[in-house]
Structure 1
């Protein structure tokens, strides 16, 4: 029988966050230093949920010490570690290495400094979760078939989600714009967050994000 959500979160929730940070990234950690994916996880978690680091360390070590058999994986009783480009025989040692790095980071207070531009796909979504929902859900490659134009998609979002989420998105947009990035970094960011169409002419990515923030800040959603 597959695990229920609460049981999964208790046993593997933070382990899943760590492993998800490696999707699309190399497992390039060494005993001397964490790689880019783990550094991104440590940086974001230290600055948003520092209490979760101890859970991650514990869950990684427990899983490495008690790996599931194939039958229990098929039955859904254990968390199946996604393919992160490592041979199966190396997974246990890799999980222990990650746990060791997290433990060292906590015990020695090694906090990765903040960065203006998220460095991995996972970090973009962890830092701007509602923006990822908005761009990935309303501005996929199907957007031109579903809406007359970009403004129509924005209005559909504003009228179909809870006002709290609209406010959260406005905050994330303003946070992103306040970073003052180069246009190429904004273009990379909105692509990482799921946008598969170009901003409408003549807007550059940052200018269009500013327009969206203004539209949503003045909207009166019809949710509910």
Structure 2
């Protein structure tokens, strides 16, 4: 019998967050060197919700101490570790290494410096609404769905809650504040799901600035106000 969502989150919620950071990344953690994937998780989590680190350490260590058998996995009673490129016999030791890194980071206060995201997971963790916007409205199908980039932006604005538009605007400001090279902005757009080029004559940073300015002037239509008496 599969676990209820509340039970899953209590037992494996943060473990799942850590493992998700390894998507497309090597699980090459060593006792004296965390992997790039784990560094990304630490960097993001320390600066957004540091209290979750202790939960992650506890859940990972408990899972490693009591690895599930195939029957209980098939019944949905345990979290199935996705394929991270390691043989099954190495998973338990790898989890203990991760837990030790988390414990050391917490106990020694090893807070990673804030920096530009370095992995696909970190880009989306840090800029979730921008990822939704670019991946949803600027996929390779965008030229078939909209006459131009501005039409796609307008469709996002009129179909999205004002709070999400405001969140997107804030994330765009944060991305521009990184003051990246033009090639790095192009990489950021690709990592966040954009599959078409910015419109002419804009380079990536110029289009992001244009987009930010346009969204900054957006005013939600809440309909007519109450009638005056």
Distance 1:217 1:76 in 2: 46
Distance 2:221 2:151 in 1: 15
Distance 1:89 1:219 in 2: 55
What is the TM-score with the length of structure 1 in the denominator?
A: 0.95
Q: What RMSD, in angstroms, separates the aligned Cα atoms of the two structures?
A: 1.4
The 1:97/1:223 distance shift into structure 2, 3 A limit, reads farther
Q: Match of 2:20?
A: 20
The 1:70/1:206 distance shift into structure 2, 3 A limit, reads same
The 5 Å alignment of 1:74-223 reads 74-115=74-115, 117-221=116-220
Distance 1:54 1:30 in 2: 20
Residue pair 1:43, 1:112 contacting (<8 A) in 2 also: yes
Shift of 1:68: 1.6
Distance 2:6 2:161 in 1: 25
User: What are structure 1's unaligned runs of at least 5 residues?
Assistant: none
Shift of 1:88: 1.1
Q: Secondary structure at the match of 1:131?
A: helix
User: What are structure 2's unaligned runs of at least 5 residues?
Assistant: 224-229
Distance 2:169 2:73 in 1: 41
Q: Secondary structure at the match of 1:152?
A: helix
Deviations 1:129-151 (A, max 9, x none): 11111111111111111111111
Deviations 1:178-215 (A, max 9, x none): 11100111011111111111111111111111111112
State which structure, 1 or 2, has the greater radius of gyration over its C-alpha atoms: 2
What is the TM-score with the length of structure 2 in the denominator?
A: 0.93
Residue pair 1:161, 1:223 contacting (<8 A) in 2 also: no
